[in-house]
Every structure is written in C-alpha cells, then in structure tokens.
Chain A
Amino acid sequence: MTASRRVPAIVRALTALLPRADRELLAGDLEDAYLARVARGHRLQALGLFLLETLHAAAARRMRGPAIPPARRQLPMIETLTRDVRYGLRGLARNPGFTAVAMLSLAIGIGFNTAIFTIVNAVLLRPLPVSGPDRLLTIYASERDGYRYATMSMPDYRDLRDRTRTLSGLAGHSLMFAALDRDGSASLVLGELVTANYFDVIGVRPARGAGFAADADLPATAPTVVISDAFWKREFGGAPDVLGRTVKIRGKACTIVGVAPAGFHGLMPGMVAELWLPAGMAEDVEPLGYNSTTGTGGPTRFDHRGRRWMFLKGRLADGVTLEQARTELDSIMSALAADYPVTNEGVHATALRASDVRLHPEIDATLAPIAALLAGAVGLVLLVACANIANMLLARGASRAREMAIRVAIGAGRARLLRQLMAESTLLALAGGLAGALAAIWVMQMPLPLPLPLEIDFSIDWRVLTFAVGLSLVTGIVFGLLPALDASRPSLVPALKGDTPSGKHARWFSPRSLLVVTQVAVSTVLVVAAVLLARSVTQAMRTDAGFETDGLVFATFAPTMIGYGDEEGFRFYQRAAERLREVPGITGVSLATRLPFAINYHFSEFFIDGRPDLSGEHGLGLDVTQVDRYYFDTMDIRIVEGRNFDERDRPGSPRVAVINEVMARRYWPNESAIGKRLRMRTADGPIVEIIGISAAHPVRSVGEPPRPFVHLSLDQQTTGGNSLVLRGTLPEEQLVAAVRREILSLEPRMFFFELAPYVTQIETTTFALRAGAALVGTVGVVALVLAAVGLYGVLAFNVSRRTREIGIRMALGARPEGVLRLVLGDAMKLVGVGLAIGFGLAWAASGALGSLLVGVAPGDPLSYAAALIVLVAAALAAALIPARRASHLDPLIALRGQ
C-alpha cells in the first residue's frame, strides 16, 4: 500500500500547482499530512486542509521564493525610502538621454517660475525690515485734488511729530540720490533722506555707532551720515574705525555716525539704499518719487510748508488703535489747514498699517495684476514642461512594462511599484528644479539694464528656496502620478512575453495624445500673445514720434548736486549750450525742463482767461514744459501758426507760451488761439499769452491719445532747464562723446543722469511693452519647443508601436508616401485639436493684453495667421522625423518583430 494510492486523484492533481523544481518533495509531505489527518478520522477536514496547504505552499514557493526571510518581508520605512531613492537614481542613470531631456524641460519650467517668484518676493512678499511692522503706520498727505497718498512737507512733519499723542514716534523718509565725491569725480549713490529719529521709530539699531544725534534734522548741524553694511565693506574695507571718518557729499564732509545692520536696505522694497542722510541735508541731495509744491513759503525743502517730499512712518503708542491715531492726525491736519490755508487747505492725513503697504498703495494696486500675468505665463510653461515629462514617463513606462511585470511576478506589491516610480519622478523633479532654480538665481543676480544707478535687491531667501523646492516636489508628484499608475499595472502575461499590446496604445487618441493636445493649446496661447506683443513693439517703434529722432541726442546732468546753486546751475546749462553750439557738426542745441517722452509728467493748472466754462473750478491740468528759443528748430517741430520764442522774450517781459495743435483745436475750435490768454495756477494768477501753435506730437508715450501740451518760455526764467537736447550731422555716438567731452572740460566733477541718443528716450517709454514682449516671446518659444519635443516623442513612440502594422501595410503594397501621410495625418489630427482649443483660449485671453498693445488690436488677424504658420511649421518639423522613419521601414524587418 503506497501513499499515492490512497490520495484521491483530484487532490493529487492540485500538486501540479507546486513549482516543478521541488514539486515531488513538497507533494509527498503534503500528502503525508493529509493521510495523517485521515488516519485520525477527519476525512473531510483533511481534504479541505490539504487543498489550502497546497495552495499556500504553491503561493509561498512561487511568489516569495525561498530567499526572503518572513521576518524581514516588511522593510522599515527609512530603509524602504533609501532603497526607493537608490533604485530611482539607478533608473535615471540607466537612461541618461531621457534624464537629460526631462531635467532640461523641468529646469526651464521651474527656472522661469523661480525667477518670477524672486521678483514677486522682492517687491511684494518680503516683509518690511522693521521691528513690529503691525504697530507701524505709513502716513500720507491726501491732497485737495483727492489724491490720497502724497508726501508731506518738513514743517508739517515737525508739527505732527510735536503734537501727536497717539504715536510714540514719527519719522520721515524719502529715497534720494546723493552725489558722492570720490577723488575729484562724482558718482550717484542711492540712499534715504531721513529724520534724525528714523532708526528709533522703525526699530532698527545701527550695528555700529549711535546713529543720528537728535538735532541732526537742523540744517545748521554738522552733517552726519549712516552708511550701509555693503557700503562700509566696499568703500572702507570693513575698517573697524570707520566711525568718525567722513564721506564727501556735494562737497560737504559728512561724519559717519553709524553703520546699518547687514541686510538693511531702507524702507523701499527692492531698492538698495546705501546711505542715510539726516533731513538737515535736504537741499544737498535729490529726493526721488512724489514731489509737489503748492503756494509759497521758505525757499528750501527744509522750511517750505508747501514743498512735499517725505513719507512718514509713525509708531502707535501702547494701547492706541489705528482709528484713534487717524482721528488725532486728522484733527492736527485740520488745525494746520486753518493756520496755513495757502499751503494746507484741504490737505488731510491718510494712515495705513505699514504691513499693508508694499511700495505705495497705488503702485501696489497695479503690481498685483502684472505679477498675476507673469505668473500665469510662466505657469503655462511649467505646465507644458510637466506634460512633456509625463508623456516621456508614459512612453518609458510602456517600454518598461516587462520589467514591471517581472517585479510584480516576483512579489512586488502595486503600492511598492508606485512608490518606486514616484521616487524616480520626484528625484527627477528635484534635480531639474535645482538646476532651474540655480540658473534663475544666477540670472537674477546679473545687473539690470536700468538707466539709473538703481540696484534692486533680488536676493534669495527662504521664501524663494521653499518656493523652488515646493514647486519641484508638487511638479514631481503631478507629472509622475499618472505615468506611475499606468506603469504599475502591467498586464502580466503579454508583458512578460514581450508583446506590446497594440490595440490599447496604438489608437491615435490616448492619454499621451491628450497631453500633446494640451501642450499644443498652451503653446498656441503663448505664441499668439508673443506675436501680438512683438507686433506691438514694431508698431510702437514705427509710430511717428512727431519729429525726426535721427541725429538727436539728449543729456541731463545735475550741477546743483555738486554744489551749484539753482541760478548758478542754470547758468552752467546755458554755458554748456553755448559751448556746444561752437562744436562743428552740431547744428542745434536747446535747453528744456522737460522733453517729450521723458518720464517727467509735469503738469500744472491753467485757467483760460475769461472762459470759466472751459476751465472749471480747479482749472485745466495740462502737461507743461519750459523751452528756450532754439527748442523747436533743434527738435524739428514745426510752428504751424504764430511765432516762435525769440529775443523779445526775456525775464520781465510779458509771459508767453506756445501751445500744441491739439490744445488749440480743443479749446478754440472755431477761431485762432493766437493772442488768447492763459492764467497760471489760479483764475486770477499770472497771465500767459499764446504766441504760437506747434505741430502735434505724442508727449508721454508713443501711441497715446492726442494730448494738449503747453510750452512756456525758458528764456523768461532765471532758473530751471535740466535737460539739454542737440541735433547734429555727426553719428549719434560722436555727438554723445562730444557732449561728454565739452561738459567735462567745463566742469570735471559733473556727472550725467542721462546722455544718449534721443531714441533711447522713446525706448524707455516702451520698456514695459518690450520687456513684456521679450518675456512672453521667450516663454512662447520655449513652450513651442517643448511642445514640439512632446509631439515628436508621442509620434516616435506610436510609430515604434505600429512597426508591425506598418510592415504589413507595406508588404501588402502601401507606398512610402502613403505611410508618411498616415503618420503625418495622425500628427495633424492632434495638432489640429490643440490649435483649435489654443486659438479659442488665446482669443478669449487676448483682452488681458489690451492695455499693453500699441497699434495692434487684440484680435489682429495677421498676428493669428503668423502664429498659425509658426505652430504648424514646428509641428510638421516634429512630426516629419518619425513619419519618415515609418515610411522607410523595411517590411521584412518590421514583420520579423522587435
């Protein structure tokens, strides 16, 4: 009697499940166990247990293999993670081409985003470098015309500071340029002009020195200065004995009384102030920003109540609310208005929490949408990059189906496969993100091409780093998840056999195709925007400035900042102009207070004499400049009626003006404006007679609506004139060199704010447009390239999947052109859908560009056509390579299989 005879055949058949290698031995033991149970009389139980044990043994043998100790099957978390990371690194290293392309895509996407975030961070996010910003108030003067966020004057500041009980401290500050004397030559330094208590009120202690003395605000006090950490290190080599040494500003030796803490750059976000001068030096520097003057008063910024130039910061006293402070500030301002009606009538105070203001309430309001637009554009690039990588991972997942199937077969759980694939994509994202962030940081540290010596602080802090790392992680998860889900679910049997499931993936519309459609659509939006902006730029450049800009050069310099008085400075300008007129090749030289397209939107109130119906209660706010008698000839602006300024117009003679055609037609549509009279500032102010009408030209920027422009006579003034414009027959570079040479020979210490061909003046006004076009253009090209790569990848993948099918077609007589058409047709179906969606989106979104566009409608058909050509060309280029490969397949090789 043998055991085998007593085991039912049906039960024995189950042992076939056991691995062949040790089936016999295992089966023997299993059968013995069965027989032992039967011997004990549990026949049914024995049969059931035999069944279960056989299945269990078969599973244990096949799935786990004998090598894995049961106790160690659950790896500890950390060990799993390290393994996943190591596995991921190996996977990436195995395919350096794939890794490089994916990393590059990501680096571009994340780099752009990091760069934009760096700007947003510097300007909008970084908190003010003060202690307790929520108890600090920013206080503005609100003016009688309703403008709420203007500057204050020094006398108003002093009264507020002395009368307030709700504020424990009140300080004033303004960005300024100071002329720094260094070995006989001057250079401009950005700093802040501040009241003596500035550092106390904002709660920043100088790292060295005591800071300003309490009487530093008084002009009579010996000049002192606090310097920045960077300035200290650069100019004094970080010398420990820097306190008590001097810095020469506008010829005055200022004693250094403090070094600001490292990283403190003043109160204007993004701007790097390098030194702080007390308000007593107000006349020695050039405050920047919003300066206004009303009424009359003392001659200086220091004692003229109507000369407003400083922003105020107040520290709330303990237990005082913002509302209480506002009420008190209002009552003080009302008292001042009663005492000084000429300068202060209708002037109130507006107090906001300093933490609620970034640059300035009005600028803040315009920055947010610009930031959103930028973020949107670069976000789209990242989206395209992600779609690309998701696509590549999907394709790679398909080619790794066999590997995955083997891993599943030897017992890997789906969760584990998912984790490993995700680890790989996250590693990829982090590496790409790191590369992109480093590139962005490097680019952002390069000096900006700004016309003024401004330094903008785009330093990297934890916010930027968190953003870059966070974005990389999210990106890794987002683009990794779908391919990982796809790849971790291989269909075991065909995958193991090495078959490629042609039915499922060869359809022309798959998840991969959807990604390509998305990419094409997004690229379309960006390319359309880029083309619209590019056309705007060319339109703006082509738009007639209204006068000939070739051979025209302008210069601004500031004699008052190197120690000249106002009149002395004006005489210097006149001397410079006289001298330049002698230079051969220069045909005209003129002085003006404001040139067309200069960022100097000076305007003044005018009343048309005897026409209160036109002037209104507050008069007409008109753009105004003062020009000498050479101006219209030099600029080549025609006098269309009346006369130009001439030697009759001198100080003391009746005031005269030349207005432009726009103004003449608007206010005197049916009669000549010549001989009509304007009154300046008030309805009974000084009379100005209109003696001439000049040809119209844009005043502030090209493409603007017609704008009235008043030219007053500079020859009737004894001060003013801070721009010089000249025309010559020499090349512009030689004209620029001549100006520099002649003026430095008159005054070697002189320095130039601006000295350039006139066309740069116009370029400055189109800076936002050109910067926008350059950015969107770059972004558009990058997105287009990424999308083309993505399209190429999908087509190449599809062709390799369909090799056998194409081989059969060719064996049956399909011609190469037919195959080419087949593959290209598939490509164009994807591209067509993407283009349709993209053009729809672009059409809907182009309105957002409206304010930036010059001379181009948001729906400009030519731009859309150009974009279409570019996109289709790129798509064809991407599709042609795989299509040609398919059409050149050798049917024999194709049919033999992979």
Chain B
Amino acid sequence: MSAYLGEFEQLLLLALLRLGPGTGTPAIRDAVADGSRRTIWLGAVFTTLERLEAKGLVASTLIEPDGGGRRRRTWTLAPAGEQALGTAYDTWTRMTRGLEPRLENLK
C-alpha cells in the first residue's frame, strides 16, 4: 500500500521523474510552474519536498560547490516515490478509462 499523494506532491514527483536524479530545487519549481501554468513559490517547494523526504518518497543530497560558497541541495526520486507515482497514475487511468473523449471536451 503506497502513500496517498496530494496534487502538488504529484506534480513535484512528476517533475523529478522528468528531470532525473540530482535535480536542484529551482529547476523542479520551474518544471512544475511550466507544466501547471501556475506561480509556484520556492518556499512551498522546499516545504513539500522535505515532507516527501520524511515520508521516504524522495531523497536529498548536499553538494559542496567546487569554488566555495553556498552548498546546494539536490533531489532524487526514491523507489517508494516511484511506486506512489505509479499507483497514482494507475488510479488516474482507471478512473478516466472511457472518459477520454469527454475529458478532451472539458479542456
């Protein structure tokens, strides 16, 4: 039984799946903002990613920059996160089966 995902969490995980392991927070934010056509606050992204990390769905790594300066945090989709995304997609497809034409009309 995989974790239930909120919509924003799904969007973050999808962005991470798309961008691959080791992605920085601003890149994830940009991907979600582009895909959802919404303004996404970095603060919200940090907070949500941390919560997903606490649930074991993503993992973070601290990167020491070569030339000194601030450390960066990068994110990687954990196996549990992939499974949760798979479940969510599965649910979505089952719930939308046969509805595609109508959903197309609703756009």
Nearest residue (CB) in A for B66 is: A2
Note all chain A residues with C-beta closer than 8 A to B65.
2-3
Q: Is the CB of A33 within 8 A of B42?
A: yes
**Of the 9-residue stretches A55-63, A276-284, A503-511, A788-796, which lies at the interface with chain B?**
A55-63
Chain A's nearest CB lies how many Å from the CB of B41? 5
Tell me which residues across on chain A come within 8 A of B68, comparing CB atoms: 2
Whether the Cβ atoms of B25 and A56 lie closer than 8 Å is no
Are B69 and A70 touching (Cβ within 8 A)? no
Contact (Cβ within 8 A) A4 B41: no
* Across-interface contacts of B18 in A (CB, < 8 A): none
Q: Indicate if the CB atoms of A28 and B72 lie closer than 8 Å.
A: yes
Residue from A1, A27, A58, A69 within 8 A of B70 (CB atoms):
A27
- SS of A interface (majority): helix
B50 touches A24 (CB 8 A): no
Given contacts A33-B29, A57-B42, A60-B44, contact A3 B69 (CB under 8 A): yes
Docked pose: A70 CA to B70 CA in angstroms: 29
Q: What residues of A have a CB within 8 angstroms of the CB of B67 in the complex?
A: 1-2
Cβ of B20 within 8 Å of any chain A Cβ, yes or no, is no
Could you say which residues of chain B place their CB within 8 Å of the CB of A69? 6, 51
A452 sits at the interface (CB 8 A)? no
State which residues 34-71 of B face A: CB under 8 Å: 41-44, 46-48, 50-51, 62, 65, 67-71
Known: A36-B26, A69-B51, A71-B6. A57 touches B41 (CB 8 A): yes
Is B6 a contact partner of A29 (Cβ separation < 8 A)?
no
Q: What's the least CB distance linking B68 to chain A, in Å?
A: 6
Residues of B within 8 A of A60 (CB): 41, 43-44, 47
A628 in the interface (beta carbon within 8 A): no
Q: Within 8 Å CB of B71, what residues of A?
A: 24-25, 28
Q: Are A29 and B73 in contact (CB under 8 A)?
A: yes
Question: Which residues of chain B have C-beta atoms less than 8 A from A3's C-beta?
Answer: 65, 69-70
Contact check, A66 vs B50: say whether CB atoms are below 8 A apart.
yes
Nearest CB in chain B to that of A22: its residue:
B46
Report if A56-B41 is in contact (Cβ < 8 Å); known contacts: A29-B25, A36-B26, A66-B51: yes
Q: Which A residues, 118 to 156, have Cβ-Cβ distances below 8 Å to chain B?
A: none
A26 at the B interface (CB under 8 A): yes
Q: CB-defined interface of A668-692 with B at 8 Å, one 1/0 digit per residue?
A: 0000000000000000000000000
Query: Quick one: given A36-B30, A57-B43, A60-B47, are A28 and B6 in contact (CB under 8 Å)?
Result: no
B70 and A31 form a contact (CB under 8 A)? yes
Interface residues of A in 228-247 (CB under 8 A from B): none
Closest residue on chain A to residue B47 by CB atoms: A66
Q: Cβ of A53 < 8 Å from any Cβ of B?
A: yes
Taking CB atoms, residues of chain B closer than 8 Å to A225 are none
**Is B89 part of the contact surface with A, judged by Cβ < 8 Å?**
no
B contact residues around A59 at 8 Å (CB): 43
Smallest beta-carbon distance A546→chain B, Å: 93
Residue A378 at the chain B interface, CB threshold 8 Å:
no
The reply on A329 being an interface residue by CB < 8 A is: no
A100, B53: Cα distance in complex, Å: 48
Q: Which residues of chain B in 66-95 are interfacial with respect to chain A, using CB atoms and an 8 Å cutoff? A: 67-73
* Residue B24 at the chain A interface, CB threshold 8 Å: yes
How far in angstroms is the closest Cβ of chain A from B53? Answer: 10
Query: How distant is B75 from chain A, measured CB to nearest CB, in Å?
Result: 11
A residues near B42, Cβ cutoff 8 Å: 26, 29-30, 33, 53, 56-57
Given contacts A29-B24, A29-B73, A33-B26, contact A53 B8 (CB under 8 A): no
Nearest B residue (CB) for A33: B26
CA distance A536 to B29 in the complex (A): 86
Q: Is the CB of A32 within 8 A of B24?
A: yes
A2 cross-chain contacts in B, Cβ below 8 A: 65, 67-69
What sequence of 0s and 1s flags, for each residue 803-847 of chain A, a beta carbon within 8 Å of any chain B beta carbon? Answer: 000000000000000000000000000000000000000000000
Min C-beta distance of B27 to chain A, whole Å: 8
Q: Which residues of A contact B70 (CB under 8 A)?
A: 3-4, 24-25, 27-28, 31
A22 and B51 CA atoms in complex are apart in Å by 15
**Residues from chain A with Cβ under 8 Å of B48 in the complex:** 70
Residue pair A29, B26 in contact (C-beta under 8 Å): yes
Minimum CB–CB distance for B49 against chain A, Å: 10
Knowing A2-B67, A69-B6 are in contact, say whether A29-B44 is a contact too (CB < 8 A): no
Closest CB in chain A relative to B25 CB, distance in Å: 4
A32 to B30, alpha carbons, bound, how many Å? 12
Q: Smallest distance from the beta carbon of A559 to chain B beta carbons, Å?
A: 91
CA gap between A2 and B66 in the complex, in Å: 9
Name the B residues within 8 Å of A53 (CB-CB).
41-43
Within 8 A of B (CB), among A1-15: 1-4
* Chain A nearest Cβ from B15, distance in angstroms: 15
- Chain A residues whose CB sits within 8 angstroms of the CB of B29 once the complex forms: 33
- Give the distance to chain B from A284, nearest Cβ to Cβ, in Å: 84
Which B residue's beta carbon lies closest to that of A1? B67
How far is A237 from B19 in the complex, measured between Cα atoms in Å?
88
Residue of B nearest to A31 (CB): B70
Distance in angstroms from A178 CB to nearest chain B CB is 78
Q: Nearest CB to that of A61 among chain B residues?
A: B43
A29 to B62, CA, bound (A): 12
Is there an interface contact between A25 and B50, defined as CB atoms closer than 8 Å? Answer: no
Residues of B within 8 A of A64 (CB): 47
User: Using a CB-CB cutoff of 8 Å, which residues 34-52 of chain A contact chain B?
Assistant: 36
A10 to B96, CA, bound (A): 51
- Give the residue name and chain of the B residue nearest to A18 (CB): B43
Q: Which residues of A contact B8 (CB under 8 A)?
A: 70-71
CA distance A28 to B72 in the complex (A): 6
* A22–B72 alpha-carbon span in the complex (Å): 11
Q: When the two chains form their complex, are residues B72 and A32 in contact, meaning their CB atoms are under 8 A apart?
A: yes
Contact B50 A70, beta carbon cutoff 8 Å: no
Q: Known contacts A53-B43, A57-B42; can you find 16 more A-B pairs with CB under 8 A? A: A3-B65, A4-B70, A24-B71, A26-B46, A28-B70, A29-B24, A30-B42, A31-B70, A56-B41, A57-B41, A57-B43, A60-B41, A61-B43, A66-B47, A70-B44, A71-B6
A-B pairs, top 6 by smallest CB distance, nearest first, are: A57-B43, A28-B70, A60-B43, A2-B69, A33-B26, A29-B25
- Interface residues of chain A, those whose CB is within 8 Å of chain B, are 1-4, 22, 24-33, 36, 53, 56-61, 64, 66, 69-71
27 intermolecular pairs with C-beta atoms under 8 Å apart? A2-B68, A3-B69, A3-B70, A24-B70, A29-B25, A29-B26, A29-B73, A31-B70, A32-B26, A32-B72, A33-B42, A53-B42, A53-B43, A56-B41, A57-B43, A57-B46, A59-B43, A60-B41, A60-B43, A61-B47, A64-B47, A66-B47, A69-B6, A70-B44, A70-B48, A71-B6, A71-B8
Task: Please list the residues of chain B having a beta carbon within 8 angstroms of any beta carbon in chain A.
Answer: 6, 8, 24-26, 29-30, 41-44, 46-48, 50-51, 62, 65, 67-73
